[in-house]
Amino acid sequence: MNRESVQSSLPHGRQAGVCLHITSLPGPYGIGEIGAAARHFIDQMVSMELSVWQFLPLGPTAYGDSPYQPLSTFAGNEMLVDIGNLVDLGLLDDDEVAELTTLPERYVDYGALIPIKNRLLYLAASRFEATVRHALLDDFGRFLERNDAEWLHDYALFRILKTRHGERPWPEWQAEYVHRDASALARLENREAARLRGLKIIQYLFFRQWFELRDYAHQRGITLFGDMPICIALDSSDAWANREMLRLDEDGRPDAVAGVPPDYFSEDGQLWGNPLYDWDKHEADGYSWWVDRLRATSELTDLVRIDHFRGFEAYWSIPADAETARTGAWEPGPGDAIFDAMRAALGNLPIVAENLGVITPEVEDLRERHGIPGMYVLQFDVCDPEFRLEDVADNSVCYTGTHDNDTTIGWFHGSPDDIRGKEEIQHAQRAVLQMTGGTAETVHTDLIRAAFSTPARLAIAPLQDYLGLGSEARTNVPGTPGGNWRWRVIDTQLSDKFCDNVASLVIISERGISCHGASNKK
């Protein structure tokens, strides 16, 4: 594969963006959704002069509500479906959705939300074919033609079986379903025909709304920046239907699982528990599943961050019965071959590498050979005495912090979840104040300015940093099983004055939408 013509996936010019997961959007129905609230946020981004919206994986979540352990690589998270749109389509009425409006505005109460919203989604799906216009029915038919045999039917079966087995992981189901006995599945399909159809309609509604949002973003000049976990969950339709691509025995039990060694976030490392890929089998069929995966993601987003990129060079393999990630060992990944195969099928790759953690020269060489942008996270880099803002690579994304970091305010002051000692926190405080020339009161804005000042083509801060929020607004604490992915912004926080202040910050840095030729403002 000739790599001489490889181009960066990043937008042209120096641009600025925001990281905010869809669930964190404001709105009346208990969780951020992909309809009116998302379009309004895009309008607010334009007024803030921000041109790139980064969000977390869009797949359906399960235990722990983590978007990085989705029940499917290809399905959409039903909880993100816009309820207001279903009312507009005549599939639900205001009285039926009123219960959702009693849920909290400032955080997602998944335990209360999920049963209510699932009931409403199935109700809407049951009315779909008798209610909507013919053009929508035809569009649904085309959706089935494209997706049913590829992933949709397996996903719908998986969700029904998971519910029938008390939401337990599929290796704990009845044996005939664990082993996908054809006659048992045929009987299930016959008994559950209506529910199968309903699940497929709900997925259609998600993707219809998403493509409308994508088109709106493009009309407003906004780049959508998604996220792809390198691993898939064992408890997923992908693993259940395609177990041959994983290191699993005939009963679905892994011999080893994924994670990372001890690092900044955890003294024992992180024991993710995801099954490992059988890379020899992927190589034998030309990495076709990966090609399909990246193609599907690229249809939804303009850019995609691959989480834990270093696993393509070597990954941390942990015995399946281990209690912590300390006992793992490095094993070789697929290396160049997987990127050569994806580029041969798809052209230049819209990938950004999450190259954090234990990064070796071999990992960086792999990334650079394929022209894939890397990441800088100033909360990490600021304490490195050799780090200089001006040395940040052009072909990179520079962050204040990511969804796994504390907010900049929380990081600066320390929090109960902080694994750093008092001296480490004080060292970070001195280092960031020296680097930015700022103050403790303005450290969040000062660190954003620092990221914007770098040569990086793209600089991003979480919305919490633009807002100057503390640890109470943190998105995720890695290595903790609960209480994550809950934070939401509320409408009043995104005032016109706030948007104007962000716009001034961006324009001064010459990263604004209007700095690239023409403003998209209405």
The residue whose two tokens read 């941390």 is 316
The pairing of strands 270-275 and 256-260 is antiparallel
Q: Between the CA of residue 473 and those of 49, 68, 299, 445, what are the distances in Å? A: 23, 19, 31, 16
CA pair distance 282, 270, nearest whole angstrom: 26
Residue 354 is which amino acid? E
CA pair distance 238, 227, nearest whole angstrom: 17
- Torsion sign over Cα 92, 94, 96, 97: positive
CA atoms within 13 A on the CB side of 184: 11
CA pair distance 420, 328, nearest whole angstrom: 24
CA pair distance 502, 50, nearest whole angstrom: 9
- Torsion sign over Cα 18, 19, 21, 27: negative
The residue whose two tokens read 């990246």 is 294
Phi, psi angle pair for 157, to nearest 5°: -60, -45
Catalytic status, residue 500: no
- 3-class DSSP assignment, residue 467: helix
* Active-site residue (options: 192, 235, 302, 307): 307
Catalytic status, residue 148: no
CA pair distance 180, 187, nearest whole angstrom: 12
* Active-site residue (options: 154, 235, 381, 404): 404
Catalytic status, residue 354: yes
Phi, psi angle pair for 505, to nearest 5°: -60, -40
Q: In this structure, are residues 440 and 412 in contact, taking their beta carbons and an 8 Å threshold?
A: yes
CA pair distance 428, 189, nearest whole angstrom: 58
Q: How far out from the chain centre does Cα 293 lie?
A: 14
Choose among 83, 252, 229: nearest CA to 161. 252
Tokens of 469: 């929020």
* Active-site residue (options: 354, 381, 406, 446): 354
Burial of 40 (0-12, 13-18, 19+ CB in 10 A): middle
Active site residues: 307, 354, 404
